Amino acid sequence: MTAALPLSKFRSLETPFYFYDTALLDQTLCAIKEQTVSRPAFHVHYAVKACTNPKVLTHIVNAGLGADCVSGGEIQACLDAGFPANKIVFAGVGKADWEINLALEAGIGCFNVESVPELQVINELATLKNCIARVCFRINPDVGAHTHSNITTGLAENKFGIAMQDMEHVIALTRSMSHVHFSGLHFHIGSQILQMDDFAALCLRINELQDRLEQQGFGPVEHINVGGGLGIDYADPDAHPIPDFQSYFQTYASQLKLRPGQQLHFELGRAIVGQCGSLITRCLYVKEGSEKSFAIVDAGMTELIRPALYHALHRIQNFDSQGSEMPYDVVGPICESSDVFAADYPLAETRRGNLLAIRSAGAYGETMASQYNCRRLPASYTTEDLT
């Protein structure tokens, strides 16, 4: 990918900033299309929380994907970007009234409901607007995924979703309500999942649940939504710039027993935008500590919080040095000792002014940026901007 980076353009820009390789993004979207075109029941909604940059959203709209939103702000960003309202789904455990009203007025495709009290409020607000809200229920499948504990969501102890054993009761309750239409079941087991067995385990749970519901006279449902979660290669993004969509979709095609006419929704975030984004930063100082060398860069946890929050390791490249590799602690300027991108990281000998890329930062990078320490939010550029 390095060859595709417009390095000479980077040099004239103030750092830090995000760069999105939109050619890679388009290739990634094509790879998804290759897998879904022959499977007309498969629909991908991009999990907007991963990256809401409008220039990135435009490419995703153009590829025909829907959107998975978790806030009124995200719904508005998607409407502004041109996503058709009926391809927007709205999830989240704490939907505020104004957000539900915005979604009803826009006519979104479906609410992914996470509790009975929320269902009741959606029914009340839809009644006031004299419209019918399509809902599906997020079910906690109690499937553990092999990923970081902060981003596992499918376990019973988690705050997300409704317990599987309560489903019959909740569906019956929905049928007694006048302004909601029960349309499907929603699942999500976690993020940055690389073992297809985890998705296969989810399929097994869904198969069991569908059988059970149908035996009780509930079903078959119109659609199943399996959430997102497909991971990316943070260690070697150049070896795997595009995730293994073939295995991912094939796992669902072979393991999930879809009923005739039933639609299958996916909510992929990281797998779509993760590898196309890099955080570009400059080395401000190299400080020789008593035991370590610190490469102090001008980006920090305010621009990319994943290392501080999840101990995530992103690949770091120095564009300006051919020197031999040495171990550095690559740190930001923020007044927090967790503001460390990587410890003892092998980097070509680094000097003040060197331009560095922190790779695989397209997902949950710019969207999680903050203004802590009165910092400015980072600028962003795409391939189109710099050619």
Q: Name which position in 25, 44, 47, 102 contacts ligand LLP (CB under 6 A).
A: 47
* Least Cβ distance, residue 77 to ligand LLP (angstroms): 16
Tell me the C-alpha distance between 371 and 378, whole Å.
9
Distance of alpha carbon 211 from alpha carbon 185, whole angstroms: 13
| Interaction between residue 114 and ligand LLP (CB under 6 A) | no
Helix 116-129 vs helix 167-175: crossing angle, to nearest 10: 10
Shortest reach from residue 241's CB to ligand LLP, in Å: 17
Distance of alpha carbon 208 from alpha carbon 214, whole angstroms: 10
Stretch binding ligand LLP (CB under 6 A), from 79-87, 122-130, 194-202, 264-272: 264-272
Residue 256 CB, shortest distance to ligand LLP, in Å, is 17
Tokens 């500590």 — which residue?
Answer: 289
Q: Which is nearer to ligand LLP, 184 or 229 (CB)?
A: 229
- Beta strand spans in the chain (E): 17-20, 42-47, 66-69, 88-90, 110-113, 133-140, 162-163, 180-186, 223-225, 263-268, 277-288, 293-297, 316-318, 325-331, 340-348, 355-358, 379-382
Q: Decide if 146 contacts 191 (C-beta within 8 A).
A: no
Q: Which one of the spans 28-36, 269-277, 294-302, 314-322 is the region binding ligand LLP (CB under 6 A)?
A: 269-277
Residue 364 near ligand LLP by CB under 6 A? yes
Part in contact with ligand LLP (CB under 6 A); list of ranges 15-23, 195-203, 222-230, 337-345? 222-230
Q: Strand, coil or helix: what is 167?
A: helix
Q: Confirm or reject binding of residue 206 to ligand LLP (CB under 6 A).
A: no
Q: Does 306 bind ligand LLP (CB under 6 A)?
A: yes
> Does position 140 bind ligand LLP by CB under 6 A?
no
Instruction: Return the structure tokens found at 280.
Output: 């570009």
Q: Which region among 75-83, 187-195, 255-263, 324-332 touches ligand LLP (by CB under 6 A)? A: 187-195
Which residue's CB is nearer to ligand LLP, number 68 or number 366? Answer: 68
How many CB atoms neighbour CB 134 within 10 A? 19
Q: Which residues bind ligand LLP (CB under 6 A)?
A: 47, 50, 68, 91, 151, 153, 188, 191-192, 227-230, 267-271, 306, 310, 363-364
